[in-house]
Amino acid sequence: MYDPVATLQAIDEHVVPIMLLNALALIANVIYFGEAVRLAARDRLYTMPLAGTLLFIPHDLSYILNYDKWFNQYHHWFSELYWFGLIATLALELLFLYQTIKYGRKELFPRLTQRSYTALLLAGLLGVSVFWWVLKQNLADDLYVVSFFVTTMLCPMLSIGLLVRRQSARGQSTLMWIAFCAMVIAYFGWTQYLGDYFRSFWWRAFAVVDLGWGLAMLWLVRSIGDVGRQYFADIASATGTSATGTSAKDCRPTSGVPTA
């Protein structure tokens, strides 16, 4: 995929643009995560999709636990700076998990007790952690350059599911998705200095898809906003189905919109 030593040498050759773009990516990431945390507290619901949270935590934790690799084996300033940055992102991800435990039971597993629900989520985190650890050992991505970018794709992919299921943009905001798009642009931008693999058609195509998905979420959140139920009800009225795919005549009216 790429040579780690050559990649670190390329970073040394382009320190200023890579540091500026990484700083922008980290700031945008913190804004995206921080806004999600704020909205969860305000709306009293979980805002980061559960599958994303369960993967982000072991992903970042595995990097942090590889302290010896970054500070002794490679001993490169870039990987060491990333180690410190991921402590901040991991703290926010653990907060996502706490908020999902606190606010998510009635939406995700309403028939479970709070204790059973919490145990299920922690067991899920353990299972995904094992999955990630095995997968990472078989990826030719020693510096996590690819996996960082790939995990960003989970955010818009899974958040669309939240938007459709809730039939509103509750728990999401335009600021979140503006920050997400900025993060993708900045992260992709700095990888262009790293070598031929990161200037290949497929890497650039992946960046376009990732950014396009983020822009689609930005447009959807701005379009739907707080009138989401009316928005989806209008779709149901036009198609003769509800937002969940059932016949509109089998559903109760929502927001005062009569069924067919």
- 130 belongs to a structural domain: yes
State the DSSP string of 142-187.
TTSHHHHHHHHHHHHHHHHHHHHHHTS-TT--HHHHHHHHHHHHHH
For the chain, what is the mean pLDDT? 88
- 157 belongs to a structural domain: yes
Give the per-residue pLDDT at 192: 96
- Is the pLDDT confidence value at 259 over 50? no
Element (H, E) at 210: helix 201-224
In which band, very low, low, confident or very high, does the pLDDT at 168 lie, cut at 50, 70 and 90? confident
- 244 belongs to a structural domain: no
pLDDT digits (tens, 9 = 90+) for 204-215: 999 999 999 999
Range of the domain at 110: 4-225
- 54 belongs to a structural domain: yes
- 11 belongs to a structural domain: yes
- Is the pLDDT confidence value at 163 over 50? yes
How many structural domains comprise the chain? 1
Secondary structure class of 201 (helix, strand, coil): helix
- 233 belongs to a structural domain: no
Q: Which residue has better confidence, 8 or 226? A: 8
Secondary structure class of 247 (helix, strand, coil): strand
- 234 belongs to a structural domain: no
- 246 belongs to a structural domain: no
In which band, very low, low, confident or very high, does the pLDDT at 46 lie, cut at 50, 70 and 90? very high
* 8 Å CB contact between 190 and 183: no
Mean pLDDT of 45-51: 95
pTM of the model: 0.83
Residue 195, φ and ψ in degrees, nearest 5? 140, 180
* HEC sequence for 87-144: HHHHHHHHHHHHHHHHHCHHHHCCCCCHHHHHHHHHHHHHHHHHHHHHHHHCCCCCCC
